[in-house]
Structure 1
Amino acid sequence: MTDLREAFCFFLRRGLGDMPQTREPEHVLTREEWNELFRMASVQAVSGVFIDGVASVSLRPDRDLWEQWIAHLFYLEQINERIACREEKWVGRLAEADIRVQVFKGSSVAAWYPYPLHRSFGDIDLVVEEGWQKLEEWLHGQGVPFRNEWGDLVVHEEGLTTVEFHPHREYLYNPVMNVRLQDWLKEGSSNELYLVCLIVHLRRHFLTYGIGLKQVCDVTMMLRRAHLNQSKLAYMLERLRLKRFSRFLFGFIDTYLGGANSYPFVPLFSDKDFALMREVIFHEGCLLKQVQEEKGSKERFPFVRTGRHAWFWMRRSLRLGGMMPDEVCWFLLHQVMRRVGF
């Protein structure tokens, strides 16, 4: 498995635009190993980047498998083009109603990739910068069904993707830090602030059910290509108490994804929390939520399900508290308040 992980990360580095002198895996891969590598890429939602990496070297699976992967790339391109068109239509329609929105993640972060259409697609995330108070009325007037999910408005377009409307680009559980972040967002946007929001998003999901390589690749590409002011980025991350988590994240990027030319902080590699980050990304990222939801669906009694959730969050918070101690405390309070209806 270690050899396969090394091969997997090699192809990811190449797909992300790693330098051509990187050494190829030394042993010839069997068809079963190629299938396992593609499964790993699919689970982590980086299949397009992985195939780009394979395409950049002489190693190849057999012709039948390779043709299947090329067809998968064409599928990614078609869906991403369709989603980009939907994003433009939503932005335009809302602008006519004096509701100003911006695309977050999705095509806006894919633009930093060598092949933007090969980034795995997801929901359309629209951040409402002006006119949030008019959005529900406008959706009703347009006959668009939606539901409120913990303060976000969610639209399921039949046969298309899900559209999520957010009142804020990102948020922190710590209320003092969150006020600071929202103040910065009101002042305007920058590449540094966008990347900070990506890291906030990544850390929040890391704390709940884990995070996959797709979001880590997003951070990697911005570190490499977004022409960042590292001093400004360091200031923002430190002011939001993201420094420790970011240093482990940068260490992971440097070790497994080819790194970047510069970082706002020196990456950390040797702490036990680095091993924990590696464990969460490689083994929990896109699977833990599904496992927990399946367990919850089997519980007949709501109070048992609630107790199981509480025990899960407490254990997870204790496990991850070393990376983000203050955020963990506020996260637990947030979970309690949600469950009691606040």
Structure 2
Amino acid sequence: MIDFRYHLVSIVAIFLALAVGIILGTTLLQDPALDLAKRTSDELTSANNGLRADLDALRGRQAGNDAFITARTPQMVAAELAGQRVLLVETPGSSTSVREAAQQVLGEAGAKVSGRVTLTEKFLDPAGKGVLDGLVNQLKPANMVFPATATSYDRAATLLAAALVTNDPAQAGTANTATAGVLDAFETGGLLNVEDNPAERATLAVMFAPEKPFEGETAETLAEALVSVADGFDAAGGGAVLAGTAANVALPGDLIGAVRDESDVSKRVSTVDTADMPVGRVVMVYALREQLAGHAGQYGIGKGATAALPVAVTPSPTPSAQSGS
């Protein structure tokens, strides 16, 4: 008769055999896979370290370039905008630091900032178009006629631009009596905020795009509304530049991209998508100067940019007293 100890020893032996088999099988099967995984991990680690080193080197180069441009900016922009008055227009979500840095460079270029207008979210609220239309109809001069296809934002931009900018240098620095009360009414209605005295009209306008594209179902509508505003300021003054940061992919709510996608508007309004960089602020000054000459361009490194900066225009040489003799 087989006793209990025999059964116990047999069971233990079976389990030991199974355990040894599992260990041996697992080791034999996994060693190549483990080796491959280790080699792959080592390669990825090495590549990652290389990319980090490249990134650190690029950051160092950019920091050096930024330091050089910052130091040379006063010489690079000196007198480029002498005698010009510039209006600053901030949009919902635009960067205060970008605007402040741009304002400093405009001063170094010889321009005087007439003032600052900050459009509010209420200005862009599609549900408030009735209020916007009502104010425009109430405040517009009798001789201000809008095209039949003009949107609410086209009309509002035309009225605001008439109150804030002029293409007549002789009128720069003076208020437009035909639009008296426009700024106060828009500010009282919560549609915008005013800093300094922008009613003393400027000759040029710089609009600052939101740091992030608009999102949601109304993203494209909001961007198009601000395209109308930029175009309105360009039409009423000596030119307009939209400044912001680069977008590498097309997004419906990206304001700079929306201007660049509007073929007619992009022929009039310039964009600079490197305004967060020292070089972009220099380009902004050059783009404003180009606007005064009746030209526009799309500058920077983002999608839709056609060049890094405007092409310098060399003045025609003045004929000497002896020429032609």
TM-score, length-normalised on structure 1?
0.26
Which structure would you say has the larger Rg?
A: 2
TM-score between both structures, scaled by the size of structure 2: 0.27
**Which protein has the bigger helix share?**
1
